[in-house]
C-alpha cells in the first residue's frame, strides 16, 4: 500500500508560507466550478453538485437516502437518469459505506451496476478504524485521478463524537483539503435529529459545521401522506434551488423519480 497522506498541518513551518500566494486578484477571472449533476426542471438544468465542492444529504433512518444515491450514481455514470442529467467528463465514482454489512453493500453495488450499466468501486469499511477509513479514502483519490465524485455514507463514522467541536472541526478541515487537493465533489450522508416533519436538523455539532461548509444541503423525508414514497427537497443551496421531487423504489431497489405536487386538502 502507498504511504498515507499527511493532512495534519500543526507541525508545518509557518515561516515558510508565502502569503502572497493566497491573495485573490479580482482582475484575474476564475471560471465557475464545473457542474457534475443537474436536475431538469422548467426546461433548464439546475446544478445540484459541482466539482471541487461538497454536499450534504440528510434524512432520518430508512428515508430512502441510499435509493437517492443510486439515482445520483446512475445519472453521472450514464449521462442521465429520469429527472437527473450529467455531462461530467471525470465520471468515475466511488462509494465508501461505513454502516452496512457485506451482503447489503454487495446488494447496493449490484443494483447500481444494473441501473448505471457499469461497476463502480464500492467499499464496505464498517470494520475499519477511523484512521484506516481516512487512509482508504485518500489512497483511492490518489490512485484514481479521474474520480470526480465520492460518496461517504455515513460521515458520522469518521469520528468518535459528532458533538465534539474539536473533532468535528478537524474532520471538516480534512474534507475541505480533500476536495481541494483532488478537485473532487464529496457527497456526505448524515442522519438528522428531530421528529417533526420538515424540521429536521443534521446530527450534532458535525451537522452544523457541514451545513455551513457544503454547497448543497439536500433533505429527504418520507411523504406523510404516502409512506411508499419520499420527498427530496433543497434545504439550502449556494446557487439556484431546485423544486422538490419524489423518489420511489420497486422491490428490486430500483429508484424512480417524478415531479412533486402538493397534496390536495378538502375544505371544511
Residue 124's nearest CA partner among 5, 202, 132 is: 132
C-alpha cell at position 253: 431497489
Q: Is residue 21 part of a domain?
A: no
What is the mean pLDDT of the segment spanning 239-249?
94
Q: Give the DSSP letter of residue 169.
A: H
Q: Any bridge partners for residue 124, and if so which? A: 97
What is the mean pLDDT of the segment spanning 137-159?
96
Q: What is the enclosing helix (H) or strand (E) of 149?
A: strand 147-153
What is the mean pLDDT of the segment spanning 39-65?
93
pLDDT digit string (tens) for 90-108? 989 999 999 988 999 999 9
Q: Is residue 58 part of a domain?
A: yes
> What CATH number is given to the structural domain containing 60?
3.40.50.300
Q: Is residue 248 part of a domain?
A: no
Q: Is residue 177 part of a domain?
A: yes
> pLDDT higher for 127 or 264?
127
Asked whether the predicted pLDDT for residue 3 surpasses 60, the reply is no
Our CA dihedral for 191, 114, 77, 230, rounded to 10 degrees, sits at -30
Q: Is residue 250 part of a domain?
A: no
Q: Is residue 170 part of a domain?
A: yes
Looking at every residue in the chain, the average pLDDT score rounds to 88
Cα separation, 37 vs 257, whole angstroms: 15
Asked whether the predicted pLDDT for residue 229 surpasses 80, the reply is yes
Residue 69's nearest CA partner among 190, 168, 176 is: 190
Cα separation, 268 vs 260, whole angstroms: 25
Q: Is residue 139 part of a domain?
A: yes
Confidence grade of residue 252 (pLDDT, cut at 50, 70, 90): confident
Q: pLDDT > 70: what percent of the chain?
A: 90
Containing domain of residue 170, as a range?
48-218
Looking at residue 9, its pLDDT comes to 46
Q: Is residue 243 part of a domain?
A: no
pLDDT digit string (tens) for 24-38? 888 888 878 899 999
Q: How many domains does the chain have?
A: 1
Asked whether the predicted pLDDT for residue 255 surpasses 90, the reply is yes
Asked whether the predicted pLDDT for residue 177 surpasses 60, the reply is yes
Q: What is the enclosing helix (H) or strand (E) of 207?
A: helix 204-213
Cα separation, 243 vs 232, whole angstroms: 9
Confidence grade of residue 199 (pLDDT, cut at 50, 70, 90): low
What is the mean pLDDT of the segment spanning 155-181?
95
Amino acid at each position: 500500500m502507498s504511504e498515507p497522506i499527511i493532512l495534519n498541518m500543526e507541525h508545518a513551518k509557518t515561516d515558510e508560507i508565502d502569503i502572497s500566494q493566497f491573495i485573490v486578484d479580482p482582475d484575474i477571472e476564475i471560471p465557475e466550478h464545473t457542474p457534475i449533476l443537474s436536475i431538469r426542471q422548467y426546461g433548464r438544468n439546475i446544478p445540484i453538485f459541482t466539482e471541487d465542492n461538497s454536499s450534504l444529504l440528510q434524512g432520518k433512518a430508512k428515508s430512502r437516502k441510499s435509493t437517492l444515491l443510486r439515482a445520483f450514481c446512475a445519472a453521472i455514470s450514464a449521462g442521465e437518469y429520469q429527472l437527473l442529467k450529467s455531462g461530467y467528463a471525470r465520471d468515475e465514482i466511488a462509494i465508501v459505506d461505513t454502516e452496512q454489512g457485506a451482503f447489503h453493500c454487495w446488494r447496493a453495488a449490484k443494483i447500481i451496476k444494473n441501473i448505471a450499466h457499469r461497476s463502480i468501486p464500492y467499499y464496505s469499511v464498517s470494520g475499519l478504524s477511523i484512521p484506516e477509513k481516512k487512509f482508504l479514502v485518500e489512497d483511492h483519490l490518489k490512485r484514481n485521478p479521474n474520480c470526480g465524485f465520492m460518496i461517504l455514507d455515513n460521515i458520522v463514522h469518521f469520528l468518535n463524537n459528532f458533538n465534539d467541536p474539536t473533532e468535528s472541526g478537524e474532520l471538516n478541515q480534512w474534507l475541505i483539503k480533500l476536495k481541494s487537493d483532488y478537485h473532487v465533489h464529496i457527497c456526505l450522508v448524515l442522519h438528522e435529529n428531530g421528529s417533526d416533519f420538515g424540521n429536521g436538523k443534521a446530527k450534532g455539532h458535525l451537522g452544523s459545521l457541514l451545513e455551513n461548509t457544503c454547497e448543497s444541503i439536500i433533505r429527504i423525508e418520507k411523504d406523510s401522506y404516502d409512506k411508499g414514497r419520499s420527498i427530496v427537497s433543497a434545504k439550502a443551496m449556494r446557487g439556484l434551488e431546485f423544486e422538490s421531487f419524489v423518489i420511489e423504489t420497486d422491490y428490486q431497489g430500483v429508484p424512480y423519480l417524478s415531479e412533486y405536487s402538493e397534496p390536495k386538502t378538502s375544505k371544511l
